Chain A
Amino acid sequence: MAKFEPVLSKNFDKPNAHKLSVYKSGGGYAAAEKVIKEMAPDDVVERVKESGLRGRGGAGFPCGVKWTFLPADRETTYLCVNADESEPGTFCNRFLMENDPHQLLEGILIAGHATRTTVAYIYMRVEFHEQFHILQKALDEAYDAGLFGKNIFGTDFSMECYIHRGAGAYVCGEETGLIESLEGKRGWPRIKPPFPAIEGAFSKPTVVNNVETLCCLPHIFERGVDWFQSLGTENSKGPKLYTISGPVKRPGCYEAPLGITCRELIFGDDFGQGMRDGLGVKGCIPGGLSVGVLTEEELDCVLDFDDVRNYGLLGLGTAGAIVIPDNADIRQVLMNVARFYSHESCGQCTQCREGTNWAYKVASRIARGAGRISDLDLMVDITTNMGMMPGLSICGLPDGAAFPMRTIVQKFRAEFEDHIRRQPPGVVEETLRKTNAAIYELPILGRA
């Protein structure tokens, strides 16, 4: 394979890449100008559909197809840019916004033209402070240069672009949760249908796209659909930013065509360069916490939109890998995962609210050294009965919670059982008495 030339991350190492002049000197905004001046919106949608660009936010829905769901006779369209990157292990959007904000803005212009957007909102999580200042300054600069506002590039296309800061809620990364939050409400996902394309923000047709998806757009129009299709695997086209964290030698964000293996990502010279301090790999969560875990033997899994499903994972997710070293206690990992979802569940659907909290209680019991073998079956039972897959919830958060917890328990069952068998006898009852003292003081149970 010929050496891959990075595109999304090509400006990451340039000094002052956040300045408009630097971005323009590298041919920036030429694609947007060409698209807006020369192409009709429907042609742009068609071209993106042809390219096979799939959403990079986790679900992998084809981007161009999403745009065709918009009603043809609309007057107002909103474009929401999902920059609420809160998935543990994922930070590629942060790289894109802090190192190359104008690439995102150019993507917004193209997407805005294609969807005939009137106002674009960049929904940014509040923990991105430095990134907010960088992006806001870049946006100010773009406004001053006439790239946003009225009559962009001298055409009759007008679009406003604002940054909307979130306030710390994972569920606002779900597209309808994001819209609710944008409207100034609790970030509770909405029941679908109606889908946002029909009735989204302020009850108007709305498109929600991830930062990385939009960043791909300028390159599709600059280099052409054929170039984009030449990268990646059969159903997963284009370049992707892979991120890797955990005890590897070189954690970070690396660009590659879709379809590298998890092993390459950890050990490859261009990527993680192997484990530090002579540690081994126990497992790897390859696509942001929600997709589930791969064991050491399964590392040859190809990280594209299809192959991950052969390993019992939810999907590619955001391709943010977390490597679990062999000295980590798997019970602590499970407890951490369960805590995340029990904290971030929005509380709307009973199955998710109660299920994630129940799972957290069970997981922390196991982590404290007072687990039972039956707890492992209980975990599997809870996690198969709370998500969208059995049709019990409004959004996908409980599925995202179920997959990592279930795969950890199933794939590392022997290790859990080993830990539980080595617990001193009587510890389960003792812990129960301590945690539920009030119950054990009741007359009947107290005798028992």
Chain B
Amino acid sequence: MGWKTLDRITPKHDTEAGPILNEAVRDKIRSFFPRYETKRAVLLPALHIVQDALGHVSYQAMAEIAEVLEIPPSAVLDTLTFYTHFWDHDKGKKVAVVCRSLSCQLMGADAVLDECKKELGIDEHGTTEDGSFSLVTEECLAACDYAPCVLINEKMHKCVKPEQVAKLLKDAKNAEIEPERSDLFDAPAAGAAPAPSEKNNGDEAVASNDDDDVLGKTSDVDEMRDS
């Protein structure tokens, strides 16, 4: 949650390629306006929607959110960097969050985390080369009765034993949840997202692993622009 400095001199994105947020996304953000007194208050919902649509919130996306909300882009960056949930660089299609707080640690979360690292071949805050998984640790997930717990996208896996980790991470359905979903904070379904059933933006492949240069180049962005 520290401050972040920004290189404003090197151009980070192709400005001639046009906006990366399509009208459907912008309309969805605007649909939150009546809920709040100020437009800035829509920022958190907007970031959720954009992260769902693009997989992460790039600097250009921040600038375009600022445009929709009529606030300075720096305000968007300011807010975004405070929260651990938002990614300003590419993340994996699925994000595995291992809880590291006291209850989970007492029940063996360290072993689960080590097993995750070994299985995915990445360290904390890393993303696998094929872009399928990111691994992070987080403070209490409020599921201490089921410690140790691992959150994969929206699905909470409870009482995870180290020997179950490999199977869990390979399971194709490990991010599906039981309750009926509400699409309030999701990317708009109509025409924008390639696979609406897929929770995290459904990007087919992550084109680039270069953190600085992902803007406007990932396949989902191209598809969004085409649609």
Asked whether B184 lies within 8 Å of A136 as measured between CB atoms, the reply is: yes
Asked whether B38 lies within 8 Å of A324 as measured between CB atoms, the reply is: no
Chain A hits for B156, CB < 8 A? 129-130
For B37, the closest partner residue in chain A by CB is A202
B39 to chain A, nearest CB (A): 8
> Which of B75, B85, B86, B151 neighbours the largest number of chain A CB atoms within 10 Å of its CB?
B85
Q: Is B42 an interface residue (CB 8 A)?
A: yes
Interface-located stretch among A40-48, A65-73, A240-248, A307-315: A240-248
Asked whether A89 lies within 8 Å of B102 as measured between CB atoms, the reply is: yes
For A98, the closest partner residue in chain B by CB is B179
Binary contact track A3-34/B, C-beta < 8 Å → 1, others 0: 00000000000000010000000000000000
Chain B hits for A346, CB < 8 A? 1, 82
Asked whether B79 lies within 8 Å of A184 as measured between CB atoms, the reply is: yes
Inter-chain CA distance A91–B142, complex, in Å, is 5
A86-B139 CB under 8 A given contacts A168-B85, A332-B105: yes
Chain B hits for A133, CB < 8 A? 177, 179-182
Partner of B101 from A132, A332, A336, A347 at Cβ < 8 Å? A336
Chain B hits for A186, CB < 8 A? 78-79, 82
A251-B83 CB under 8 A given contacts A88-B140, A328-B106, A343-B139: no
A89-B179 CB under 8 A given contacts A130-B154, A245-B103, A336-B102: no
Question: What total of chain A residues lie within 8 Å of the partner, measured CB to CB?
Answer: 69
Q: Is B143 an interface residue (CB 8 A)?
A: yes
Asked whether A88 lies within 8 Å of B78 as measured between CB atoms, the reply is: no
Interface-located stretch among B10-18, B44-52, B123-131: B44-52
A134-B179 CB under 8 A given contacts A162-B35, A168-B84: yes
Inter-chain CA distance A152–B1, complex, in Å, is 42
Inter-chain CA distance A336–B106, complex, in Å, is 10
Asked whether B145 lies within 8 Å of A253 as measured between CB atoms, the reply is: yes
Chain B hits for A253, CB < 8 A? 145
Partner of A136 from B145, B155, B182 at Cβ < 8 Å? B182
Asked whether B144 lies within 8 Å of A88 as measured between CB atoms, the reply is: yes
Asked whether A202 lies within 8 Å of B38 as measured between CB atoms, the reply is: yes
Q: Is A265 an interface residue (CB 8 A)?
A: no
Asked whether A167 lies within 8 Å of B84 as measured between CB atoms, the reply is: yes
A246-B142 CB under 8 A given contacts A164-B45, A184-B41, A184-B42: no
Chain B hits for A134, CB < 8 A? 179
For A335, the closest partner residue in chain B by CB is B105
Q: Is A228 an interface residue (CB 8 A)?
A: no
Inter-chain CA distance A91–B140, complex, in Å, is 10
B117 to chain A, nearest CB (A): 18
For A76, the closest partner residue in chain B by CB is B37
Partner of A187 from B38, B82, B86, B182 at Cβ < 8 Å? B82
Chain A hits for B38, CB < 8 A? 183-184, 202
Asked whether B185 lies within 8 Å of A127 as measured between CB atoms, the reply is: no
Chain B hits for A246, CB < 8 A? 103, 106-107, 144, 147
Partner of A169 from B69, B83, B103 at Cβ < 8 Å? B83
Chain A hits for B141, CB < 8 A? 127
Inter-chain CA distance A261–B41, complex, in Å, is 43
Q: Is B7 an interface residue (CB 8 A)?
A: no
Asked whether B44 lies within 8 Å of A164 as measured between CB atoms, the reply is: yes
Asked whether B178 lies within 8 Å of A130 as measured between CB atoms, the reply is: yes
Q: Is A181 an interface residue (CB 8 A)?
A: yes
Binary contact track A182-214/B, C-beta < 8 Å → 1, others 0: 111111000000000000011010000000000
Residues in A325-363 with C-beta less than 8 Å from chain B: 325, 328, 332-333, 336-337, 339-340, 343-347
Asked whether B144 lies within 8 Å of A243 as measured between CB atoms, the reply is: yes
Chain B hits for A140, CB < 8 A? 182
Binary contact track A92-120/B, C-beta < 8 Å → 1, others 0: 01100000000000000000000000010
Question: What total of chain B residues lie within 8 Å of the partner, measured CB to CB?
Answer: 54
A168-B40 CB under 8 A given contacts A332-B105, A336-B101: no
Q: Is A37 an interface residue (CB 8 A)?
A: no
Q: Is A166 an interface residue (CB 8 A)?
A: yes
Q: Is A260 an interface residue (CB 8 A)?
A: no
For B39, the closest partner residue in chain A by CB is A184
Q: Is B187 an interface residue (CB 8 A)?
A: no
A167-B145 CB under 8 A given contacts A127-B138, A127-B151, A347-B1: no
Chain B hits for A320, CB < 8 A? 144
Inter-chain CA distance A125–B36, complex, in Å, is 18
Residues in B98-132 with C-beta less than 8 Å from chain A: 100-103, 105-107
Chain B hits for A185, CB < 8 A? 40, 43, 75, 78-79
Inter-chain CA distance A347–B2, complex, in Å, is 8
Chain B hits for A184, CB < 8 A? 38, 40-44, 69, 79
Inter-chain CA distance A90–B145, complex, in Å, is 9
A169-B1 CB under 8 A given contacts A130-B156, A185-B79: yes
Residues in A121-161 with C-beta less than 8 Å from chain B: 125-130, 132-134, 136-137, 140, 160
Inter-chain CA distance A79–B179, complex, in Å, is 27
For A253, the closest partner residue in chain B by CB is B145
Asked whether A325 lies within 8 Å of B35 as measured between CB atoms, the reply is: no
Binary contact track B145-171/A, C-beta < 8 Å → 1, others 0: 111000101111000000000000000
Chain A hits for B147, CB < 8 A? 245-246, 251
For B109, the closest partner residue in chain A by CB is A336
A140 to chain B, nearest CB (A): 7
**Given A129-B155, A167-B85, 17 additional A-B pairs, CB 8 A:** A18-B179, A88-B101, A88-B103, A88-B139, A127-B142, A133-B177, A133-B180, A137-B182, A162-B35, A169-B82, A183-B41, A245-B103, A246-B107, A289-B101, A289-B140, A332-B105, A340-B101
A-B contact pairs, 22 of them (CB 8 A): A87-B140, A88-B102, A89-B144, A91-B144, A125-B142, A130-B177, A130-B179, A133-B182, A134-B179, A136-B184, A137-B180, A137-B182, A168-B84, A181-B44, A184-B43, A184-B44, A186-B78, A186-B82, A201-B37, A202-B41, A340-B101, A346-B1
Shortest 10 CB-CB contacts between residues of A and residues of B:
A184-B43, A167-B83, A245-B144, A129-B154, A136-B182, A168-B85, A186-B82, A167-B85, A168-B84, A88-B140
